[in-house]
């Protein structure tokens, strides 16, 4: 009977050792710094929504400077995490404002196949939780939204983003669950993600926004390209600080740190009948950073190079965001002053663009590159890998826009109460609305429609419209209940872009006035002209 007893004791001892070892391993796993999914998988895979949430919860639990909250929901009901980093009494907009510090918002994954920004954000948050860059918090409050397109992130396929160099284990899709490109939705606000974002802009009012992407296209030699806001109605002081000091300083910092070249976003022209040059993308505020510029805030687009390796794309993005935040920390007061002056500006009577085109700039040296063709080991699909080749070529830069048609900023617009879809969008953006309490006659301008042209194809669920016509002066009785939208308000530039009938990205262009425009001779929104 002794042998079974010895075996039993040995089994108990062995089991205890196993359990003790497991306990120690668990204790170590809960105290060690969290590791991103790319780091765990030799950069074969990208983080899922669950991975991101587990990672940021871990950081919030280990550092009193890191606070986890949410700023809204995706179309499929996923909570959109917002990680707040700062010396705050609470993770609230009110607590952030009470500090008097500059607020910076960093957003990643608006296109969920462009995943380097998501991973770079997590790495930078881990560094902040560990106490790195502690000096930033002397003048900054940081907001991170690492997985903005949460639904698209979960639609992983190995053939998404063809040509991009990894992650070879697949990535999410460009669109959200509604099949909408969230980076074309900033004026029309069709997606809950975009409404969540404009809600964040109203509540937290960040002075700076960064939007992290991955770019393919022209084969150049840069690890990352960038852009300031491009709409010609952006406050000049915002774009001047970015172009003349901030972005050059960041470019120099990354070059000194890693030896990598950065420049303004651009591509060679696709059409043979277009002058060869370095062309940026689009000025319209449907794009995130252009939209933010019309809100009088600093916006910086980051586009890591799709044909660099996944690991290098993450590092390039992390280095870029780090350099941007370091500049913001050192110039926090100047950033706040510029945005405050832009908010206070009265543009009544000023000519502003309703249509625009590329402005031909100076000749610049662009570093063109080469790629090697490789194959995804799991699909055989072609991937392109950046080679260490830099061939400088001088060419004109088409990196900004000039107006081709302008209108004078009015004192106010008069929106009929029946235009509920228009008023809903204005309110969602945060534009101040003033219902008319007493009816009265007023000298106004109305837009007489000559013709309307509809786009031949649907885009993002809309068939875009262009109105042609002219303004005429008339006397009108403004009824009780109609809504005044005064332009002497912080979002006056945005209101102008939304309400002008000829605006190339306004609510008329996005079909929000289609019922009222059917067989109409005049545009239903009046304006009170500047003296």
Asked if residue 490 and residue 377 are part of one domain, the reply reads no
Residue where a domain stops, chosen among 386, 402, 418: 402
As a whole number of angstroms, the distance between CA 226 and CA 235 comes to: 19
In the chain, the number of structural domains is 2
463, 414, 454: which is closest to 434 by C-alpha?
Answer: 414
| Residue pair 452/467 in contact by the 8 Å Cβ criterion | yes
In sign, the C-alpha dihedral spanning 29, 35, 39, 45 is positive
In a domain, 4, yes or no: no
Query: Are both 118 and 183 inside the same structural domain?
Result: yes
CATH code for position 64: 3.40.630.10
- Cα(156)–Cα(479) distance, integer angstroms: 53
- What is the structure's pLDDT at 338? 98
pLDDT given for residue 308 in this prediction = 98
Give the 3-state secondary structure of residue 260: coil
Asked if residue 232 and residue 138 are part of one domain, the reply reads: yes
87-133 residue pLDDT tens = 998 999 999 999 999 999 999 999 999 999 999 999 999 999 999 99
416 and 361 share one domain:
no
The β-bridge relationship of strands 278-279 and 391-398 is parallel
Question: Is 398 in a helix, a strand, or coil?
Answer: strand
Pairing state between β 351-359 and 400-408: antiparallel
The position carrying tokens 């006035």 is 513
Sheet containing 262-264: give its strands across.
Answer: 66-73, 79-85, 140-145, 102-108, 208-215, 298-305, 224-227, 262-264
Q: Which of 402, 430, 452 is the last residue of a domain?
A: 402
What are phi and psi for residue 46, nearest 5 degrees? Answer: -115, 160
333 and 475, same structural domain? no
Q: Would you state the pLDDT for residue 31?
A: 61
Considering the domain architecture, whether residues 382 and 413 belong to the same structural domain is answered as no
pLDDT tens, position by position, 20-69: 343 333 333 446 899 999 999 999 999 999 999 999 999 999 999 999 99
Instruction: Report the DSSP pairing between strands 79-85 and 140-145.
Output: antiparallel
Q: Is the residue at 28 inside a domain?
A: no
348 lies in the same domain as 479: no
Q: In this structure, are 423 and 507 located in the same domain?
A: yes
Tokens of 487: 């332009």
Domain ranges, residue 420: 409-528
In a domain, 251, yes or no: yes
Residue ranges in the chain modelled with pLDDT below 50: 1-30
H/E element holding 226? Answer: strand 224-227
CA dihedral 229, 235, 241, 244 (to 10 degrees): 70
Q: Are residues 387 and 417 in the same domain?
A: no
Q: Note whether residue 7 is domain-resident.
A: no
Whether residues 264 and 144 share a domain: the answer is yes
Contacts of 480 (CB under 8 A, 6+ apart): 436, 437, 438, 439
**195 dihedral zone (left: phi>0; alpha: psi -120 to 50; beta):** alpha
Q: Which of 369, 402, 435 is the last residue of a domain?
A: 402
Beta bridge partners of 279: 267, 398
Q: Within 10 Å of residue 155's Cβ, how many Cβ atoms?
A: 18
How big is the chain by its Cα radius of gyration, in Å? 26
pLDDT at 32 (0 to 100)? 82
């Amino acid at each position: 009977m002794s042998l079974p007893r010895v075996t039993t004791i040995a089994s108990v001892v062995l089991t205890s050792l196993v359990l003790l070892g497991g306990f120690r391993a668990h204790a170590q796993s809960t105290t060690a710094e969290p590791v991103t999914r790319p780091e765990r998988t030799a950069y074969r895979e990208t983080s899922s929504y669950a991975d991101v949430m587990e990672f940021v919860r871990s950081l919030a639990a280990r550092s009193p400077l890191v606070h986890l909250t949410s700023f809204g929901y995706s179309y499929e009901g996923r909570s959109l995490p917002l990680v707040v980093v700062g010396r705050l009494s609470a993770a609230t907009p009110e607590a952030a404002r009470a500090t008097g510090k500059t607020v910076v918002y960093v957003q990643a994954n608006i296109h969920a196949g462009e995943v380097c920004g998501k991973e770079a954000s997590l790495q930078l948050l881990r560094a902040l939780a560990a106490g790195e860059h502690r000096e930033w918090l002397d003048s900054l409050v940081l907001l991170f939204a690492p997985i903005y397109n949460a639904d698209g992130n979960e639609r992983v396929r190995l053939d998404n983003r063809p040509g991009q160099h990894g992650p070879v284990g697949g990535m999410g899709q460009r669109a959200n669950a509604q099949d909408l490109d969230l980076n074309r939705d900033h004026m029309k606000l069709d997606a809950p993600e975009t409404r969540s974002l404009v809600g964040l802009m109203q509540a937290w009012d960040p002075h700076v926004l960064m939007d992290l992407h991955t770019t393919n296209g022209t084969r150049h030699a840069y690890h990352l390209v960038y852009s300031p806001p491009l709409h010609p109605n952006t406050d000049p002081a915002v774009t001047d600080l970015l172009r003349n000091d901030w972005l050059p300083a960041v470019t120099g910092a990354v070059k000194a740190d890693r030896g990598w070249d950065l420049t303004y976003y651009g591509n060679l022209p696709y059409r043979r009948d277009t002058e060869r040059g370095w062309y940026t993308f689009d000025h319209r505020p449907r794009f995130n950073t252009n939209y933010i510029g019309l809100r009088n805030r600093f916006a910086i687009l980051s586009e890591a190079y799709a044909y660099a390796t996944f690991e290098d794309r993450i590092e390039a993005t992390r280095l870029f965001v780090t350099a941007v935040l370091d500049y913001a920390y050192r110039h926090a007061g100047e950033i706040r002053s510029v945005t405050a002056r832009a908010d206070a500006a009265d543009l009544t009577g000023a000519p502003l663009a309703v249509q625009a085109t590329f402005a031909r700039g100076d000749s610049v040296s662009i570093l063109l590159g080469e790629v090697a063709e490789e194959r995804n080991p799991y699909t055989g699909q072609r991937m392109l890998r950046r080679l260490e080749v830099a061939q400088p070529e001088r060419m004109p830069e088409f990196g900004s826009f000039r107006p081709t048609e302008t209108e004078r900023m009015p004192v106010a617009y008069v929106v009929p109460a029946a235009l509920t879809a228009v008023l809903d969008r204005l309110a969602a953006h945060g534009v101040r609305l003033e219902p008319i309490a007493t009816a009265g006659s007023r000298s106004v301008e109305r837009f007489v429609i000559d013709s309307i042209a509809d786009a031949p194809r649907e885009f993002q669920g809309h068939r875009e419209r262009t109105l042609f016509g002219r303004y005429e002066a008339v006397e009108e009785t403004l009824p009780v209940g109609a809504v005044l939208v005064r332009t002497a308000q912080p979002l006056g530039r945005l209101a102008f872009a939304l309400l002008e009938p000829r605006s190339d990205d306004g609510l008329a262009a996005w079909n929000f006035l289609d019922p009222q425009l059917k067989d109409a001779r005049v545009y239903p929104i009046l304006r009170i002209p500047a003296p």
